[in-house]
């Protein structure tokens, strides 16, 4: 399984993604929130890059059929129903509703990656599900870490490394790019004390300072929520596997 890894999304071009199977990772917290919302029965999650886009989509929907969620500086955006804590996304809030999600890095990274042939959202909660999907559809993958403010985020890089470890367990890659090597090596160094390494990540520490330790604990659970958010038609849907024409051969 050949793999390319981008440690932040900001320099990724459409050409880097076109025709590729792409996994966008934002462990803290956007992708963990997306996986959770879909597991609690949301019909779809619409990732948007900014307030304007969120408002435009919401303005065209019946107020009862959607929830507007997201954060700036970790805090719920004024006027939104929900913040970006996955724990906000209860069945009561999201079942049979669309979630319009607007976050600083994660939903921007997803909006940036829509040229992909296949685009899925990944995190620790659904790592196994993502690995199964990638192995089913392709022999190559591009992993895009959301990062933070154009910088590497340790939790996203370690999650990328874990995916590579699992993808490479059955098939050694022919080519290992420098960034894939970096993500894998960091993960390999920390694999036996992953939880403490992750808790020491800047973003995890910041969330704890904001009183959101529960979010950190929740988001760091491995394979706890086996949902696959697959991007199609401007939205992420929970799917069982690849689109029909991909799985038939
Ligand atoms: C983001 O998209 O930047 C995050 O998910 C931020 C957060 O929720 O703290």
Q: What is the pLDDT of residue 34?
A: 98
Indicate which atom in ligand 1 lies nearest the CA of residue 26.
5
Mean pLDDT for the chain overall:
95
Would you tell me the crossing angle of helices 127-137 and 154-170 to the nearest 10 degrees?
Answer: 50
For the domain made up of 2-230, the CATH class stated in words is alpha beta
Query: How many whole angstroms from 32 Cα to the centroid of ligand 1?
Result: 10
Q: Which of 32, 105, 214 for mutating ligand 1's site (highest number of atoms within 8 Å of CB)? A: 105
For 136-149, write each residue's pLDDT tens digit: 998 899 999 999 99
For 62-115, write each residue's pLDDT tens digit: 999 999 999 999 999 999 999 999 999 999 999 999 999 999 999 999 999 999
Indicate which atom in ligand 1 lies nearest the CA of residue 83.
8
Query: How many whole angstroms from 114 Cα to the centroid of ligand 1?
Result: 19
Q: Phi, psi at residue 148, to the nearest 5°? A: -135, 125
Residue 115: exposed, middle, or buried by beta-carbon count in 10 A (0-12, 13-18, 19+)? Answer: middle
For 161-206, write each residue's pLDDT tens digit: 999 999 999 878 888 999 999 999 999 999 999 999 999 999 999 9
The model's pTM: 0.96
Q: Round to the nearest angstrom and report the end-to-end CA distance of the chain.
A: 19
Q: Which two tokens stand for residue 247?
A: 């799985």
> Quick check: 245 pLDDT over 90?
no
Give the neighbor-by-neighbor strand order of the sheet with 21-25. Answer: 2-6, 140-145, 21-25, 118-122, 229-232, 235-238, 44-48, 98-102, 66-72, 75-76
Within 8 A by CB and 6+ apart from 144, the residues are 5, 6, 9, 12, 17, 22, 23, 24, 25, 109, 112, 113
Query: How many whole angstroms from 244 Cα to the centroid of ligand 1?
Result: 33
Separation between Cα atoms, residue 55 and residue 43, nearest integer Å: 19
Q: Are 222 and 129 in contact (CB under 8 A)?
A: no
Radius of gyration from C-alpha coordinates of the chain? 17
């Amino acid at each position: 399984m050949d793999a390319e890894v981008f440690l932040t999304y900001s320099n990724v071009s459409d050409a880097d993604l076109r025709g590729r199977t792409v996994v966008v990772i934002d462990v803290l917290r956007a992708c963990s929130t997306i996986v959770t919302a879909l597991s609690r029965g949301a019909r779809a999650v619409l990732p948007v890059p900014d307030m304007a886009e969120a408002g435009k989509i919401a303005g065209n929907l019946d107020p009862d059929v959607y929830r507007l969620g997201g954060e700036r500086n970790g805090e719920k955006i004024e006027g939104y129903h929900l913040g970006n804590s996955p724990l906000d996304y209860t069945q009561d809030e999201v079942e049979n509703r669309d979630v319009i999600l607007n976050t600083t890095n994660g939903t921007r990274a997803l909006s940036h990656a829509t040229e992909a042939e296949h685009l899925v959202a990944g995190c620790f909660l659904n790592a196994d599900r993502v690995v199964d999907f990638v192995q089913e559809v392709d022999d190559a993958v591009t992993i895009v870490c959301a990062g933070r403010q154009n910088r590497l985020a340790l939790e996203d890089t370690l999650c990328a490394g874990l995916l590579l470890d699992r993808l490479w367990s059955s098939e050694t890659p022919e080519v290992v790019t420098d960034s894939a090597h970096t993500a894998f090596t960091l993960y390999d160094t920390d694999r036996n004390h992953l939880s403490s390494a992750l808790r020491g990540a800047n973003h995890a520490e910041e969330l704890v300072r904001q009183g959101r330790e529960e979010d950190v604990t929740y988001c760091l659970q491995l394979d706890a929520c086996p949902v696959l958010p697959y991007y199609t038609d401007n939205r992420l849907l929970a799917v069982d596997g690849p689109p029909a024409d991909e799985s038939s051969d």
